[in-house]
Structure formats: C-alpha cells, structure tokens
Structure 1
Amino acid sequence: MRSKPPLKSHTERLCQQERSEVLQQWDNWLETPMLVLGFAWLGLFIVELVWGLNPLLEVIATVIWLAFIIDFGIKFLLAPHRMSYLRYNWLTAFSLLIPALRIFRIVPLIQSLQSVHGVRGLKLLRVMTRTNKGMRVLAASIGRRGFGYVAGLTVIVTLIGAAGIYAFERELPNGTIINYGTALWWTAMVMTTIGSDYFPKTAEGRVLCFFLALYAFATSGYVTATLATLFVGQDTENNQAELASAKSLQAMQAEITALRTEIQALIRRDLDQ
C-alpha cells in the first residue's frame, strides 16, 4: 500500500497564517499610496508616448517603477504560496520587467531591438501591460463590478489607446493622426463602435486598433443594457407611463383582493337570507 503523504505540521500552518496576516496588513497600509502612484504612473506613460519625458519626469517615473518592484518583491516573499502568487500575478511581474528594457539600454537584447519594428513592438507591449496595470489600479480603488468600473476603465483604455495610436501613426508621411487630440477623437469613435474613415497603417497600430475594437464590442452590450435598465426604471416610476410599474401592480392587486372580499361578503349575505 502507498503511504499517505505527511500532513502539514501545526507550526507550518501557523507560519503560513502569520504570513497571510502580515501580507494583508502590508496591503492595507500601502493601499492608498500605491493607488496614487499607479494613476501617476499611467499619466506619466501617456505623457511619455505623446510628448516625451524631461529628465525630472524620467526620474519620477523610475522612482515609481522601483517602488512597484519593491512592493511586488515584498508581497512575493510574504505570500504563503509563492508560486501560486507568481502564477496569479505573472502579468504584473511582466509589466514591471518591461521598463527595464528601456532603462538598461546597454543590454545586448536592447541593441538587437533598435529597429523600427522592434521599438514599436516594445511600445505595444508597454501599452498593453500598462493598460492591465490601469485595470488593477481601478479595480483596487472602486471594485471590479458596476457601471462605474466599466466607465472608468473605458476612460483609461481610451486615453492610453489614443497615446499608443499617436505614437505609432504620427511619423507616417501624409498621416491623419497628426496630434494627440486627433488620436483621442479617433479612439473615442472606436470606443463608441461608430468607427472612423481612417485605418491604422502600421502593424502595431492595427494590432492596437483590433484590441480597442474588441474591448468596445465587449463592453457595448453591458453599457446598452445598463442604460436601458436606467430608462426603464425611470419609466416604471411614472404612473402615467405605458409600462406598468411595480407600484401600479401592487395597487391593482390590492383592489382585486378588496373586490374579492366584497363579493364573498355579498354571497354570505344572500345565503343567510
């Protein structure tokens, strides 16, 4: 017979519980500062793609990135199950590694990427990973459910997507996307599923356009259903509306009950006579 694997000792379970409690305390302690740094990092990324960073902003962005690295490293060390934590947060870890490719340019890998498509591909990766960071920051601030989360996420996707499209398409000869305002308008049209006459010319711009359209398609149904529910809810509060409200149905039910009681009373009176 195969022997059963030994159960975890009581001491090991207590150690994992203590690490979980310390990890939770760390999250609670740094929740607000990390939220502020997360939104600041997103803003600096948009500024970098559109206008570029001056030396001061470059230092600020690097400091924020190092703060995220330290925070992730401490959480990884405190996690009771480190490999499970890494598998769950692999995209966050990857997004924190991407800025290193830009900062440490002396690495031979960076030198091999100094072509037009290599630089654009790296920008596309940064756009995707930074958008994921924005999703996590927004989810930590207002939660992952509700119309507010979808609206806030749409704003983040629109702003970052417009910066990405502008970074990819602005250097094309006789291009249409000549400034960030035009890119923002174009991205807003994609978000509303209306579309635009302009179609991206670069491969990276087309990939980004595809993901933007996919996001718009995925959220348009939810937004439509939410607005329809809002309008129907307002309509049901109006007693003059064609759609019967819950109050009207309750009043009708009460009238039917009262009428039934009167009929039964009349029937008993006739039987008694």
Structure 2
Amino acid sequence: MDDDGGRLARWENRSEIPLFLMGLLFLGAYAVHVLAPGLPPAAHTALLAVIGFAWAVFAVDYAARLRLSGRRFGPRYVVSHLLDTVVLLLPLLRPLRAVQIYQVMQRRHEQPRMTLYGRVIAYAGMTALLIGFSGALAVYQQERDAPGATIVTFGDAVWWTCETLTTVGYGDVTPVTPAGRVIAAFLMLMGLALLGAVTGSFSSWLYQVFAREGELPPGR
C-alpha cells in the first residue's frame, strides 16, 4: 500500500491541469457576469451556476488534498498550504496555481527546470496580470452603482488597479464602498509583495553576474 505522500502526488499530477482549466472557466464566467449586466436573467443564472459548480470542485479538491495528506485540518495545515486555502476562499485567484502545472510537467518529462530568477519574474508577472484583472472586476462590481462612486466604468477600475498595484496611487479614482476598500487593501499588500519579490530577485541576479565577471571581491 502506497504512503500518503505518494497518493497525494498522484492526485496532484492528475488534477492540476483540469483544475487550472476550471479556474479559467470560473474567471471567465465571473467576468461575463460582471461586464455584461444586460444579458437575459437566464444567462446570468447559468453563469452563476457555472461559478458555483467550479467553486464546489475547488472545495472537493481541497478536501481530497487534506485527506490524502493524512493530516488534520487546523492552523498548521492552513499555514503550510496557504495558497490552497487562499484560492479556495478567493476562487478568482485559482489560476495562480499555474506554477504547479509547470512543476507537474517537469516531473512528467524530466526536462531542465527554469532558473529560480526566471520563475520569480514569470510568476510575478502572471500574478500581477491575474490579480489586476480580478481586482478590477471585483472593485467594479462593488463600485459601479454606489452613491458618489468615482469608479463607474471597467476602464476606471483597470486604471485604479494599475495605480494600486504599482503603489503609485494618484487618488483621482478611489473606492467608496466598504467592500471596495477591503479589495484595495488586499491589492496594496499584493503590490508591495510583488515589487519586493521582483526587486530582490533582480538584485540577486545582478550580484551574481557581477561576481562572475570579477567586478566584486570574492567571498562577499
């Protein structure tokens, strides 16, 4: 009988790509639901059904991973599987697990892995695009009909998201609803985290390049 680690690895290898596609389906259905309010009610009902079904699949996957890990659900499990927990609570971020697809494909084909710096830059770029699009959708949904709102079009939401993620914050458009401000706080934190990750990785790469070229004293 295989150990828990082997069963969990097989589950991840088999489920990661279908779950990634399900995440894209979730994001697409949510985007159409938000950006096309003029669709017939039946169409919005169908979109909400797709969204609910996709979330249920994510919940089943989370429960399966918990069971196959042989551990009990608790704070330690949540901390050690933080990304899994976050994408369950915020399914719009499910495509962030695309990095797992890369790892699965490497295990299957045994090809050389991308360098650490390349992975950091690629993952940070993908994360910025995904969080930016998802954040724009979410804040637009909350703000568009609010009294005194300055984010009244999706273009406004995209512009505001770019300002927030890059930590520029012109202040020309700002969320006025409580939910919109919660989204803003999340995007601010993510912007700082992404900026720190990319800056640190790039600085480390430059240091190694200079060290190889002999422009830095050895041992520093």
- Which stretches in structure 2 are left out of the alignment for 5+ residues? 38-42, 104-115, 216-220
Q: Is the 8 A contact 1:158 1:184 kept in 2?
A: yes
Change (3 A) 1:75 1:211: closer
Query: What is the alpha-carbon distance in structure 2 between the residues aligned to residue 43 and residue 177 of structure 1?
Result: 21
1:244 Cα deviation from its structure 2 partner? 11
Which deviations, in whole Å up to 9, do the C-alpha atoms of 1:230-261 show, x marking residues without a partner?
8x69xx8xxxxxx99828x7xxxxxxxxxxxx
Letter aligned with residue 22 of structure 2: L
Aligned partner of 1:204 in structure 2 is: 179
Query: What is the alpha-carbon distance in structure 2 between the residues aligned to residue 172 and residue 55 of structure 1?
Result: 23
Residue 9 (structure 2) aligned to one of 15, 24, 44: 24
Which deviations, in whole Å up to 9, do the C-alpha atoms of 1:89-135 show, x marking residues without a partner?
48856865xxxxxxxxxxxxxxxxxxxxxxxxxxxxx6xx2355343
Aligned partner of 1:56 in structure 2 is: 46
Aligned partner of 2:56 in structure 1 is: 66
Aligned partner of 1:116 in structure 2 is: none
Residue 171 (structure 1) aligned to one of 141, 145, 148: 145
Which deviations, in whole Å up to 9, do the C-alpha atoms of 1:168-199 show, x marking residues without a partner?
21112353211112101111122222222222
Change (3 A) 1:79 1:229: closer
1:24 Cα deviation from its structure 2 partner? 1.8
Higher relative contact order (CA 8 A, sep 6+): 2
Q: Is the 8 A contact 2:140 2:157 kept in 1?
A: yes
Residue 31 (structure 2) aligned to one of 26, 41, 46: 46
Change (3 A) 1:20 1:229: closer
User: How many percent identity over aligned positions?
Assistant: 26
The count of aligned residue pairs is 192
Letter aligned with residue 80 of structure 1: G
- Which stretches in structure 1 are left out of the alignment for 5+ residues? 1-14, 97-125, 237-242, 250-273
Give the root-mean-square deviation of aligned CA atoms.
3.5
After TM superposition, the score normalised by the length of structure 2 is: 0.68
Q: Is the 8 A contact 2:165 2:191 kept in 1?
A: yes
Query: What is the alpha-carbon distance in structure 1 between the residues aligned to residue 135 and residue 84 of structure 2?
Result: 19
Q: Is the 8 A contact 2:136 2:154 kept in 1?
A: yes
Aligned partner of 1:138 in structure 2 is: 98
Change (3 A) 1:50 1:89: farther
Change (3 A) 1:24 1:204: same
